[in-house]
Amino acid sequence: MGRTEEEDNILGYVEEYYQNHQEIKRIQADILQYRKKFEPSMKRLKEQMSKMEVYIIQYINKNNHPGIKYKDNIFVPESGKIRVSSKKKEEKMETILKKYQIHQGHPLYRELNAALQSNQTDENIRLKIKKPKK
């Protein structure tokens, strides 16, 4: 019993789909490999920028400036909220519990745990670079 024309067509589609999928996986692997090559440099640059950002924001706040204009860009501090990671929440909770010597069976432990599980955010001020409006 032979295959029908529809079965032959679907096999072609499946084969082409599979080949495209494999090509996408190869491209994604290449992109990941390329990005990994630059990770140390990116990390170092971001750390340096973070240090400089603190000084720039302090200067702006100290001198009561709305921002700094530099080479057709405006550097302004912007406040925003950042989500606190679960790990930081857990560390904060453990610190509080150790400070007051509260064990897991204590009712306050469950109450603190529930409170810290909610979506907490911290206030954060970052330096933004904006193009001036013409």
Does residue 100 form part of some domain?
A: no
Q: What per-residue confidence (pLDDT) applies to 53?
A: 87
Answer whether 126's CB lies under 8 Å from 53's CB.
yes
Question: Is 10 contained in some domain?
Answer: yes
Q: What is the pLDDT of residues 73-90, one digit of tens each?
A: 888 888 777 666 677 777
Give a yes or no: residue 125 inside a domain: no
CB 82 within 8 A of CB 121: yes
Q: Is the pLDDT of residue 108 over 80?
A: no
**For residue 97, pLDDT beyond 70:** yes
Mean pLDDT calculated for residue range 61-71:
86
Q: Is residue 31 part of a domain?
A: yes
Query: Total structural domains in the chain?
Result: 1
SS (H, E, C) 82-102: EECCHHHHHHHHHHHHHHCCC
Rounded Cα distance, 55 and 75, in Å: 12
Does the predicted TM-score (pTM) go above 0.85?
A: no
> Which structural domain range is residue 8 located in?
1-65
Percent of the chain with pLDDT over 90: 25
2 or 51, greater pLDDT: 51
Residue 122 lies in a domain: no
> Domain for residue 107, yes or no?
no
* Predicted pLDDT at 117: 64
Q: Residue 109 falls within a domain, yes or no?
A: no
Whether residue 104 is contained in a domain is answered as no
Residue 128's identity, in one-letter code, is: K
CA distance 100 to 102: 6
